[in-house]
Structure 1
Amino acid sequence: MAYFSLSILFEAFEAKTKISRKAYEHRIVLVQFPAKPDKATLIEYCKQHLTEEPYQTTDGSLDFWQVSKIIDCFELVEEVPENIHTPLEVYSRYFADDFNSTREEILEKYFSDYVYEDQEND
């Protein structure tokens, strides 16, 4: 099994209406796969392992964070001396100054050089 770093853009949604809150967070998550995963495997992994329960915000609404875009996936190391429980979040950045931006605006501003290309619109 090899370790991979997933660079992911999360988007906040209002739980009841499923409407975007236009709030975004970039996370880097350490994961393990036998080989570099394809797009379908990454999407399924995110659905199974990177979902969160809704939580109550200060304005009383219930929100949840969801994977909005897989920015990159790259192999880190092939072997680690100790078994690390994955997925393991190793970095997180909330884009507080970009509230009400679209996902495309966030991607263009912060990830204009991202290498993981999708084959279809998502």
Structure 2
Amino acid sequence: TLGNFAEVGLTEVAIIVGYRKEAVYERKAALEQKYGLKLTLIDNDKAEEWNNAYSLWCGRDALKDGVILANGDTVHPVSVEQTLLAARGDGKKIILALDTVKNLADEEMKVVVDPEKGVRRITKLMDPA
């Protein structure tokens, strides 16, 4: 993901760290050097107790100028960031990349979309079928 961010021209990245955050702190300088990015690490001390929404809350100050949110446990091609950046503008506040091809398992996030109203629900608590 950091490689994708660098490839699309981003220069600053905030990473919310929690579980095993020490490993990220130890590699911060090496990651900055490798990808040419300025990394800001933000602690979520409740990462193992609370959900992703709390991680966003921890990083709220970093979100003020816009954000591409990527979970650390996902892998995707750089075309995802390219498409998201190209879709900005025209008053759009939130743009969400969805994989509509992959078969999902129980632990993966599912999204319910209404063609007229947009995203209606994002949850793991849904039958993946």
Question: What TM-score range do you get, normalising by the shorter chain?
Answer: under 0.3
Structure with the larger helix share:
2
> How high is the TM-score relative to the length of structure 1?
0.27
Of the two, which has the highest radius of gyration?
Answer: 2
> How high is the TM-score relative to the length of structure 2?
0.26
Structure with the larger strand share:
1
